Each structure stands twice: as structure tokens, then as C-alpha cells.
């Protein structure tokens, strides 16, 4: 298909970009600085924090709204195998590391197989609201397969939001098609705007039928990415920018990237840690390039948050992921299994289910706000982190031993704020404690004062206490934020009375061993 066009055509539409930036900047709770469109509410913003049309786009998108990610699921279909660039954190044998935890996709699909899979998942998981194409290569290096998949899905399942993630090289050529297929959410991975830095991340790009290397390649890539971003936002398409934080290469520079993408109308910035280990077979993995620690990542995200909305709940998921962020149900929906499934896409039943989800969500927000009022007047200058074992719905509803990740909340007199998550090895395998696994769990939440769980055994409890982490099961099955605020209130009271001393915790690990080929 030939849907290329001149970028200049979009220069006559500055009002559209201004309008979007104004809407984002105007929403309650966000500071604005002149025409720069500063928006600082974070991806945890809810209804009432933004204009109704933007809320409609993000309210049940688990990546664009931190709030939504507790309740709504996404799925990816792996229809796009080819890529037009090379990143030093990617091994072509594995998923796109932009949007996927490195790991083999279990199967590549044709658009027709993908459409069938989407209907099967939509029937089985009524809270699955978003279909994303994110690899395993670059969706826009495979435009025929990508857009045919979107076409089939928008015809068969019109309530599902369409989402696309790209490295951006081919993006300006496809903006019209993206618009035509009502793809409302586009992610561009932008790791640099400086070609000198880009040359350390990208060995080559494939451009105009030839391979271009070095700084020239990085210059082409950054120009195309920023051009594509401007074109999308000028057309009212919500854009998220993903950046991989690579210590010593682009960590300091990402603050500049943040400013550049904000000024071009990006709605959300997602700074993700580099995941790098020799067994990944990537250039960075083999040359010993490390990823950031938990506190290095948080410090960079915090420093950018004053400028624009930051996403902190990304799970760097696979290109064939299915389920809530942080869970992977893809093995339930292999092509073999789908062929045997009784697929019944029932829009009314899906809507009824989602209405129930909304009721639960409103109850959660009301409980949080009521608890927050009891913190009014507190003006403590200390904050703590707590880890939470949850399987979703915004509740503390997972046993310590069954958790494969902990959600991290920062508690202060302003309330409870989601600031990240930590993947861990299962402590409890079949009911038996594994000492090594416990050590890795403790290292992953070492910066936390407490861990909230639905249940926990005596042995891990004792070890957590020895490590200075308070195991808390008194709020089992309650809402996370409401419970966390109540805990913080007690914590402050104990510090004030001298019953406990506030301790500044150390750093924590981001697990690099998340590399689990599903076919292995």
C-alpha cells in the first residue's frame, strides 16, 4: 500500500496540536507553564483529572492509565516478525525488547489467526479491552500484516481499542493509515535525540533500501521518530513514548528526551530499565552493559515527573502477552487450543462485566479518598515505600509465597502513590519454601519498609523482620491504597511517639533473570 505523504501537509494544522496540549494541560491537578503544555499528574490520574474525551481513551487502557491496569487486560498478537533497525539490547531470535520482555514468542500468527485469537480471548476475558501489535519485530516494518489484522479485528470486535508500538523509523509514512483504522494509541520507542548517543545504541537502520550505520543511522532514526510523533499528535492520536534506560549511555540524556517529546505533544513517557544478561545474546548482554538499580530508575522517573505524565507500571511484556499487566495467560490461547474453543464474542455480556468492574473501581476510589481525608493536616517530611502482593482489582489478595511480582507504593502525607513493581522468583513452589528465592525477594523489595500480603508463613515472616521489612497481613483482601494510607498513619504516629525510629532503606534489585523462553 502507498500511504506515504509529505510532512509539510501537517504543518498547516498547528491548532490541532495546540488544542490537544491545552486539553491535557488544562486538566485539574496539572501545572502548566505557558505554551509548553506541562502536565504533571502522572499516569495515576483518574476521571475528573482530564477532559472527558481523553478520559474515554485512557479509562480502560491498562498501559495509559495506572488506575486501569489493576482492572483491565490487554493482549498482543505476534503478526510482525521483521524489523528495520537493530538495537543493541535486542537479539533477533527473541521478542522486541521495546515492548516485550525478551523471550521467544510461542508462535507467529497470520492476520486471520490473530483475529480468531482476539475473539477467543475477548470471549474468555471480558475485561480484555485493548489489542496491541508490538512485535516480535516492528509492526510498521510489516505494514500489510499489521493493518490487515487491525481491519479484521475492528470489524469483528468493535469495542476493543487498537494499539500499536513502533520504533518510529517508518512511522511518518503510515500516519494516515493509522488514523484511518482508528488506532487511537501509538507508542514510539525513543531512546535518544542525540545521534552521538544513538550510535552507541543502534548499529544500523535499514533506510531507502540500504543499511546505514553509525551517527548517520541514529540521525535518520531520531528525525523520523520526532516527525512521526508530531504528526500523530497533530491528528489527535494519543502517543506514549517508551525509553530504555541504559546506565552510562543515555541515562542523563533521557531528561532531554523527556523535554523533547513533551514539547511535541506526547501524553505519557515510560522510562523502562534495560534488561541485560549474557544469556540473552544481545550486544549489551555480551559486553556486560548493566541495567539500572530500582532506585536509579525511580530517581530518573521522579526527575521527569515534574515535566509530564510518567508511566511506572510497564511490565515490558512479551509480543504475545495476554492478560492483566504482570500476568501472562498466553499459554491458554495457543492456536491449537483456540481451534477447539467455543468462541462466543458477546458484546452485551462484555459490557455488563465491565460495568461491574467500574463499580468496584469507584468503590476503591471512594475508600481511598475517605482514608486520605483522615491524613489531612499531617505534614510529615518523611516518606516510605511498601511492597504489595496482589493479583489485581486493586486489592491485597495474593499470598506472599505465590507472588511473582510486588507492586511498590510510596506513602507520604500526600497519600499512596504507585511507583513501580518488582518481579521476583516464586518463594513458594508447591508449598515448600526455597531459601534462595526468599533472598532474591528480599533483595527486590529491600528499599521497602513493609510488605502487604493476604497471607504469609512463619519462616518468611521471621526472615523479613530480620531484614528490616515489616510483613503486614492485617489488611488481607482490602483495597491497597486505603490500607496503605491507614498503615502510614499508624507509622507516623509510632515515629512521633518514639515507639519506632524512621529508617531510610537501601537500594533494591531489578531482576535481570526475567529471560524465560517459553519454548524452552
Closer CB to ligand CLF, 160 or 384, in the complex: 160
137: contact with ligand SF4 by CB under 6 A: yes
Single residue of 75, 78, 96, 324 touching ligand SF4 by CB under 6 A: 96
266: contact with ligand CLF by CB under 6 A: no
For residue 442, give Cα distances in angstroms to 86, 275, 446, 453, 491. 36, 19, 5, 14, 21
* Interface stretch with ligand SF4, choices 80-88, 267-275, 367-375, 455-463 (CB under 6 A): 80-88
Q: List the single partner that 445 binds among ligand SF4, ligand CLF, none, CB under 5 to 8 Å by kind.
A: none
Give the nearest residue (CB) to ligand CLF. Answer: 132
Closer CB to ligand CLF, 85 or 133, in the complex: 133
70: contact with ligand CLF by CB under 6 A: no
* Interface stretch with ligand SF4, choices 131-139, 213-221, 413-421, 426-434 (CB under 6 A): 131-139
Closer CB to ligand SF4, 85 or 464, in the complex: 85
Single residue of 167, 282, 289, 413 touching ligand SF4 by CB under 6 A: 167
74: contact with ligand CLF by CB under 6 A: yes
315: contact with ligand CLF by CB under 6 A: yes
Q: List the single partner that 129 binds among ligand SF4, ligand CLF, none, CB under 5 to 8 Å by kind.
A: none
270: contact with ligand CLF by CB under 6 A: yes
193: contact with ligand CLF by CB under 6 A: no
d(CA 206, CA 262): 27
d(CA 41, CA 22): 14
**Smallest separation (angstroms) from ligand SF4 to the CB of 278:** 18
Q: List the single partner that 428 binds among ligand CLF, ligand SF4, none, CB under 5 to 8 Å by kind.
A: none
163: contact with ligand SF4 by CB under 6 A: no
86: contact with ligand SF4 by CB under 6 A: yes
From the list 67, 22, 26, 69, the residue with the least C-alpha distance to 47 is 67
d(CA 324, CA 83): 27
Q: List the single partner that 74 binds among ligand CLF, ligand SF4, none, CB under 5 to 8 Å by kind.
A: ligand CLF
Query: Where would I find the H helices in 186-276?
Result: 195-201, 214-234, 254-263
d(CA 197, CA 250): 7
297: contact with ligand CLF by CB under 6 A: no
From the list 193, 185, 196, 191, the residue with the least C-alpha distance to 161 is 185
- Do the Cβ atoms of 408 and 448 come closer than 8 Å? yes
DSSP state of 270: E
Peptide bond into 303 cis (omega under 30): no
Q: Which DSSP string corresponds to 95-140?
A: --TTTS-SS--S----HHHHHHHHHHHHHH-TTEEEEEE--BS-GG
191: contact with ligand CLF by CB under 6 A: no
Q: Interface residues for ligand CLF in 122-181 (CB under 6 A)?
A: 130, 132, 134, 163, 165
Single residue of 75, 78, 97, 448 touching ligand SF4 by CB under 6 A: 97
d(CA 34, CA 52): 23
Closer CB to ligand CLF, 60 or 270, in the complex: 270
Q: Which DSSP string corresponds to 359-420?
A: HHHHHHHHHHHHHHHTTTT---S--EEEEE---STTB---BGGG-SEEEEEEEETTEEEEEE
Binding site for ligand SF4 (CB under 6 A): 83, 85-87, 90, 96-98, 135, 137-138, 167
Site residues (vs ligand CLF, CB under 6 A): 63, 74, 76, 99, 130, 132, 134, 163, 165, 185, 187, 270, 314-317, 325
Amino acid at each position: 500500500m502507498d500511504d506515504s505523504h509529505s510532512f509539510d501537509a501537517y504543518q498547516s494544522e498547528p491548532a490541532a496540536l495546540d488544542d490537544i496540549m491545552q486539553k491535557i494541560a488544562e486538566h485539574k491537578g496539572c501545572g502548566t507553564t505557558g505554551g509548553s503544555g506541562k502536565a504533571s499528574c502522572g499516569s495515576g490520574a483518574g476521571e475528573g483529572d482530564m477532559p472527558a474525551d481523553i478520559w474515554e481513551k485512557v479509562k480502560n487502557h491498562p498501559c495509559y492509565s495506572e488506575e486501569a491496569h489493576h482492572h483491565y487486560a490487554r493482549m498482543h498478537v505476534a503478526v510482525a516478525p521483521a524489523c528495520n533497525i537493530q538495537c543493541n539490547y535486542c537479539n533477533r531470535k527473541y521478542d522486541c525488547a521495546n515492548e516485550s520482555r525478551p523471550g521467544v514468542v510461542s508462535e507467529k500468527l497470520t492476520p486471520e489467526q490473530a483475529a480468531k485469537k482476539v475473539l477467543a480471548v475477548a470471549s474468555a476475558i471480558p475485561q480484555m479491552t485493548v489489542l496491541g501489535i508490538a512485535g516480535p519485530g516492528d509492526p510498521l516494518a510489516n505494514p500489510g500484516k499489521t493493518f490487515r489484522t487491525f481491519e479484521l479485528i475492528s470489524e469483528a470486535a468493535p469495542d476493543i481499542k487498537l494499539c500499536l508500538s513502533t520504533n518510529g523509523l517508518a512511522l511518518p509514512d503510515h500516519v494516515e493509515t493509522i488514523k484511518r483504522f482508528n488506532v487511537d494509541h501509538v507508542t514510539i520507542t525513543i531512546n535518544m535525540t542525540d545521534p552521538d548517543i544513538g550510535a552507541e545504541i543502534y548499529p544500523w537502520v535499514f533506510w531507502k533500501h540500504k543499511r546505514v550505520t553509525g551517527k548517520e543511522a541514529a540521525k535518520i532514526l531520531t528525525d523520523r521518530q520526532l516527525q512521526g510523533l508530531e504528526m500523530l499528535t497533530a491528528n489527535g492520536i494519543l502517543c506514549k513514548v517508551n525509553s530504555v534506560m541504559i546506565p552510562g549511555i543515555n541515562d542523563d540524556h533521557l531528561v532531554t528526551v523527556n523535554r523533547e517529546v513533551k514539547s511535541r505533544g506526547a501524553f505519557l513517557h515510560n522510562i523502562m530499565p534495560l534488561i541485560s544478561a549474557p544469556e540473552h545474546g544481545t550486544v549489551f548482554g555480551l559486553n556486560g552493559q548493566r541495567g539500572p538499580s530500582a532506585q536509579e530508575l525511580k530517581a530518573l522517573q521522579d526527575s521527569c515527573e515534574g515535566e509530564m505524565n510518567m508511566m511506572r507500571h510497564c511490565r515490558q511484556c512479551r509480543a504475545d502477552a495476554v492478560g492483566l499487566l504482570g500476568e501472562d495467560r498466553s499459554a491458554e490461547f495457543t492456536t491449537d487450543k483456540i481451534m477447539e474453543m467455543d468462541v462466543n464474542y458477546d458484546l452485551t455480556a462484555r459490557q455488563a462485566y465491565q460495568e461491574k468492574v467500574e463499580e468496584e473501581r469507584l468503590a476503591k476510589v471512594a475508600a481511598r479518598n475517605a482514608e486520605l481525608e483522615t491524613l489531612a493536616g499531617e505534614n510529615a517530611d518523611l516518606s516510605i515505600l511498601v511492597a504489595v502482593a496482589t493479583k489485581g482489582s486493586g486489592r491485597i489478595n495474593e499470598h506472599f509465597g505465590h507472588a511473582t511480582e510486588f507492586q511498590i507504593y510510596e506513602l507520604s502525607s500526600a497519600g499512596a502513590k504507585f511507583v513501580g513493581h518488582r518481579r521476583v522468583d516464586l518463594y513458594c513452589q508447591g508449598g515448600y519454601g526455597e531459601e534462595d528465592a526468599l533472598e532474591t525477594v528480599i533483595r527486590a523489595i529491600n528499599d521497602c519498609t513493609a510488605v502487604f500480603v493476604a497471607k504469609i508463613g512463619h519462616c518468611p515472616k521471621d526472615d523479613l523482620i530480620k531484614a528490616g521489612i515489616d510483613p503486614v497481613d492485617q489488611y488481607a483482601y482490602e483495597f491497597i491504597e486505603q490500607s496503605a494510607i491507614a498503615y502510614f498513619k499508624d507509622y507516623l504516629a509510632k515515629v512521633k511517639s518514639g515507639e519506632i525510629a524512621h529508617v531510610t532503606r537501601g537500594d533494591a534489585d531489578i531482576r535481570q533473570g526475567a529471560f524465560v523462553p517459553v519454548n524452552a
